[in-house]
Amino acid sequence: MAEIRRDEGSFPTADNLKLFWISAMPPEPRAHIALVHGYAEHIGRYAHVVDHFANAGFAVHGFDVRGHGKSEGRRGHVRRFADYLDDLQRYLDRVKIAAAGKKVFMLGHSHGGLLAASHALSQPRDLAGMVLTSPFFVLAFKPPAVKVAAAKLLQKIAPGLHLGNEIKSEQLTRDPGFVAAHRADTLVFNVTTPGWFAAALAAQAKLLAEAAQVTLPLAVFVGGNDPIADAKLAKLFYERAGSADKSFKLYEGALHEVMNETNRAEVLADIEAWLVKHL
């Protein structure tokens, strides 16, 4: 097997934060994948995903979203959702340069799916398609009412205040190895902020209202027992999306992180097959 060239570094945001990025480049890649991770985690948790697609001949790029992983910024916080989208555009600009004219696909998981789909509202012509896994379009559970009320109050007076979240490692996957790794991961965090909460809610509402503007080729993969991101809302977005070329698959019994699940080989093979079909 030809050697895969791996690289990493950082790039600046408009407000002068440094965001960490990685890439894995096989010789003469078939296409390029821009990977966007979920909330409260980081791109390092996707090493096996990067390896799978790089070994299949795809160049894979990823970055730690602001306030996550090895990137700068207050943990889990954003002043406005547009900052995420500005950062994502800068990241995609880097990927497009590396792609040198070859097709670029975006693969977003959970909160990364919300970012990817929100970016796709602008109908980017430089992306060949978008894959979403367990996209975070609404919570699958109701957080405590007192916490919601406090967050709405604090978003105006202390938007960056850290509050605990309700997510547990065992809600992510049925695989005990991935659960243990998540618990031991020092770059994973269990807080959120009122500012992020408000920004995410507004972005979700906008996306579902304007889903018809998303016209990229689209694939959505979700877990049937996802306790974090509501699979029904992912299906509703899929149905509302204006894409003429779209597909949806639900994996019975799977939890939130379908690419880290016990049937992850099946999931990654399905994603790969969709990408190959769109080469």
Q: Which of the residues are catalytic?
A: 110, 226, 256
Contact 98, 60 (CB under 8 A): no
Give the chain's end-to-end CA distance (angstroms, integer).
22
- Alpha-carbon distance of 260 to 160, in angstroms, equals 30
Residue 151: CB partners within 8 Å, gap ≥ 6? 163, 194, 197, 198
- Give the whole-angstrom CA distance, residue 178 versus residue 184: 10
Q: Are 133 and 109 in contact (CB under 8 A)?
A: yes
3-state secondary structure of 89: helix
d(CA 177, CA 54): 23
Q: Which is it for strands 59-63 and 18-25: parallel, antiparallel or unpaired?
A: antiparallel
